Structure 1
Amino acid sequence: MTVTLDLLAAAATAAPAEPPIWVTILPWFALFGVFWFLVLRPQMKRQKEQQTKIAGIKKGDQVLTAGGLVAKVTKVEDVYAELELAPSVRVRALKSTLADVVPPAGAAND
């Protein structure tokens, strides 16, 4: 009986040791780094460019709203922009709901 207990005790102490904690955590940091550079960073860059473009709208620009309407800017305020959808049809829209600034119709594509 003591021989069996001695064998069990020896087997328990001979078990392989666990790897250090940094070896376990390192793949998670690597995965986050790849995710950061491939997804988050480009998305933040596009969002910053979008905000800069919308902040720079001026009277006479053509814009695309989030609803898909193309309109001409007639007045720009801090938060709102007045848009002309058709002759004598003007609406006020939040500048944050503008999706894009449309280049003039005669402009060449780059």
Structure 2
Amino acid sequence: MSFLISSAHAAEPAAGAMDPGIFNILFLVGFGLIFYFFMWRPQAKRAKDHKNLINSLTKGDEVLTAGGIIGKVIKVSDDYVVLEVCEGTQLNFQKAHVAAALPKGTIKSI
């Protein structure tokens, strides 16, 4: 009887059986692709759009800051922007804190 047991242990694996190492590699590659398409790529696009917004700021633009302050751009320097939030009130902000550009006339309509 023992000769049957040794034959069973020496049998070849079934055809089409996947090696567990390959499965792990495919799982990691799949997870990496999901991470790229759902997390990294959209964040990179938002960062690129924000950089373009900051670089395109000009005098007279109406903007919204990250803190929720709406103002009109009075002066633009390398790192800072001066906003007029109401008549005679000017505030300095870092360019990075400008969240969005608003359509012309937004401040008057509020």
The bucket for the TM-score relative to the shorter chain is: 0.7 to 0.9
Task: Report the Cα distance in structure 2 between the residues aligned to 1:101 and 1:18, rounded to whole angstroms.
Answer: 54
Letter in structure 2 aligned against 1:41:
R
Q: CA RMSD in A?
A: 2.5
In the alignment, structure 1 segments of 5+ residues that lack a partner are none
Aligned length: 103
Q: Distance in 1 between matches of 2:18 and 2:46?
A: 44
Which consecutive unaligned segments of at least 5 residues does structure 2 have?
none
Question: Aligned equivalents of 2:9 and 2:80: distance in 1?
Answer: 72
Between 1:47-56 and 1:97-106, the stretch displaced more is 97-106
The aligned counterpart of 2:105 is 105
In structure 1, the partner of 2:77 is: 77
Q: In the alignment, is the contact (CA less than 8 A) between 1:73 and 1:84 conserved in 2?
A: yes
SS at 1:58 equivalent: coil
Provide the secondary structure at the position in 1 that maps to 2:57.
coil
| Partner AA of 1:33 in structure 2 | L
TM-score (norm 1): 0.76
How far off is 1:87 after superposition? 0.5
Match of 1:86 in 2: 86
TM-score by length of 2: 0.76
* Identity across the alignment (%): 36
Q: Deviations over 1:75-96 (max 9, x none)?
A: 0000000110110000110000
> Is 1:37–2:37 an aligned residue pair?
yes
Structure-2 residue corresponding to 1:65? 65
**Aligned residue type for 2:83:** L
Out of 32-41 and 64-73, give the one that drifted further. 32-41
1-structure distance, mates of 2:18, 2:101: 58
